[in-house]
Amino acid sequence: MTRVPVRDDLSALEGYHSPQVTVDVRLNTNEAPVGPPAAFREALAAEMSRIEWNRYPDRAATALRTAIGALHGVGPEQIFVANGSNEVLQTVLLTFAGPGRTVATFEPTYQLHGHIARITGATVVEGERAADFSIDMDEVRRVVSRSRPDVTFLCSPNNPTGGVDSPSVVRELLALSPGLLVVDEAYGQFADWSAVELVDEETPLVVSRTFSKTWSMAAARLGYLVGPRWLVAELDKVVLPYHLDATKQIAGTLAVRFLDEMNERVRSIVAERERVITALRSLDVDVFDSGANFVLFRPRNASGRAVWQGLLDRSVLIRDCSGWPRLADCLRVTIGTPAEDDRFLSAITEVLS
Ligand SMILES: *Cc1c(COP(=O)(O)O)cnc(C)c1O
């Protein structure tokens, strides 16, 4: 068999790894611990029976974009929707990055920003965050003046470190960066402010969100961004026609009717997060502050990898970040149900003793 060579610039690229292992307690991918309300499932089932399967879905996904826009007080023409926020980011990068263009990230941050940018053929410039993983403005100035990025990423709350960027950080980045600023707010509902309030026609800013985390809809693969109208129109040219299937459009439109329930889930996860952080702080680990539904921590006197394995041996799966740059020995745990968090806490207490 003859293998056809892949693009030269892709040959060194590694895939995205996040092991899907069968365990009792799965706290590794920042999903919501419980599903959407039963009333949502019933409404979805009823609507599904009315789909005209022989017809293409609404190409502009107008009902869905209108419903999402209403969440943010904007019209459908300011909302771009795709199959997960990763596809939203891919479309942004296909439109504004690609060969000959530069994308800036501030590490450690969400690995897929750089990964997708490289797949589009862009050059990725990695700035470093400060020791506490906040954005270091001197570093931003250095990266931006040297590389003049076409696209700059922020992630707030930042995955995997958990910190929230303040409005002044986002404003400063907007002032400094010559290109488009993308603020990934996959965990935005956990934070006390949103960069959506800075979006307008004159500002080169988009804010991406996902249904995978706070909306308890990872299975649906649905994400969106809020941006200027002109920019959304450009993205609509780049994305494949009819990329959003009818089922997903209906699921998303129905989901946002359950906003109160979503906010209630967020409140209980935040309370649970504070309980987990307090418990972890009583153990021999360093814990980073989190404004999201996960917590990054580092065992002080044990290797991160060994602790991760010890938890897995007890059927508790968390994310092993210990091999990632700048994150030696770090582990990230997603906040689960109180029962799952108890399992995690007793397992880690055992592993560390
Ligand atoms: C989980 C996550 C996403 C979500 O991606 P989807 O494709 O919408 O599931 C995007 N950005 C960050 C930072 C995430 O952690």
What pLDDT, in 10s, does the model give residues 173-189?
999 999 999 999 999 99
Q: What is the DSSP letter of 143?
A: H
Ligand 1 site-directed mutation target among 213, 217, 321, most atoms within 8 Å of CB: 213
Cα–Cα distance measured from residue 248 to residue 191, given in angstroms and rounded to the nearest whole number: 26
What is the per-residue pLDDT across 259-278, written as a single tens digit (0 to 9) for each? Answer: 999 999 999 999 999 999 99
Chain centroid to CA 217: 13
The answer on 65 and 17 residing in a single domain is no
Name the β-bridge partners of 128.
Answer: 107
Q: Provide the residue range defining the domain that includes 340.
A: 8-36+260-352
Q: What is the DSSP letter of 187?
A: T
16-24, long-range: CB < 8 A, 24+ apart: 16/111, 16/112, 16/115, 18/319, 19/317, 21/312, 21/317, 23/312, 23/315, 23/316, 23/317, 24/315, 24/316, 24/343
Ligand 1 site-directed mutation target among 18, 68, 85, 334, most atoms within 8 Å of CB: 85
Chain centroid to CA 216: 13
Q: Are 88 and 65 in contact (CB under 8 A)?
A: no
- pLDDT at position 230, please? 98
- pLDDT at position 319, please? 97
Q: Is the pLDDT of residue 12 over 90?
A: no
Q: Is the pLDDT of residue 16 over 80?
A: no
Q: Are 82 and 64 in contact (CB under 8 A)?
A: no
Cα–Cα distance measured from residue 109 to residue 133, given in angstroms and rounded to the nearest whole number: 9
The answer on 207 and 59 residing in a single domain is yes
- pLDDT at position 251, please? 98
The answer on 208 and 78 residing in a single domain is yes
Mean pLDDT for the stretch of residues 313-336 = 96
> What Å distances lie between residue 238 and 58, 116, 177, 191, 204, CA to CA?
17, 15, 24, 31, 18
Number of domains comprising the chain:
2
Cα–Cα distance measured from residue 287 to residue 351, given in angstroms and rounded to the nearest whole number: 17
Confidence of residue 340 (pLDDT cuts 50, 70, 90): very high
Cα–Cα distance measured from residue 151 to residue 122, given in angstroms and rounded to the nearest whole number: 10
- pLDDT at position 265, please? 95
Mean pLDDT for the stretch of residues 290-302 = 97
The answer on 331 and 208 residing in a single domain is no
What is the per-residue pLDDT across 119-173, written as a single tens digit (0 to 9) for each? Answer: 999 999 999 999 999 999 999 999 999 999 999 999 999 999 999 999 999 999 9
- pLDDT at position 19, please? 72
Cα–Cα distance measured from residue 252 to residue 245, given in angstroms and rounded to the nearest whole number: 11
Residue type at 39 in one-letter notation: A
The answer on 226 and 121 residing in a single domain is yes
Among the candidates 232, 258, 284, a domain finishes at 258
Q: Is residue 212 part of a domain?
A: yes
Q: Is residue 1 part of a domain?
A: no
What is the per-residue pLDDT across 74-112, written as a single tens digit (0 to 9) for each? Answer: 999 999 999 999 999 999 999 999 999 999 999 999 999
What is the per-residue pLDDT across 28-68, written as a single tens digit (0 to 9) for each? Answer: 999 999 999 999 999 999 999 999 999 999 999 999 999 99
| Share of residues in the chain with pLDDT > 90 (%) | 94
Chain centroid to CA 25: 21
Q: Which atom of ligand 1 is nearest to the CA of 85?
A: 8
Ligand 1 site-directed mutation target among 83, 86, 216, 332, most atoms within 8 Å of CB: 86
- pLDDT at position 11, please? 82
Count how many residues are written for the chain.
353
The answer on 240 and 267 residing in a single domain is no
Q: Is residue 31 part of a domain?
A: yes
What is the per-residue pLDDT across 17-33, written as a single tens digit (0 to 9) for each? Answer: 777 789 999 999 999 99
Chain centroid to CA 264: 20
Helix or strand (DSSP H, E) at 41: helix 38-48
Cα(80) to centroid(ligand 1), Å: 15
- pLDDT at position 14, please? 79
Query: For the domain that residue 301 is a member of, what is the CATH number?
Result: 3.90.1150.10
- pLDDT at position 15, please? 75
What is the per-residue pLDDT across 203-259, written as a single tens digit (0 to 9) for each? Answer: 999 999 999 999 999 999 999 999 999 999 999 999 999 999 999 999 999 999 999
The answer on 269 and 145 residing in a single domain is no
Q: Which atom of ligand 1 is nearest to the CA of 223?
A: 8
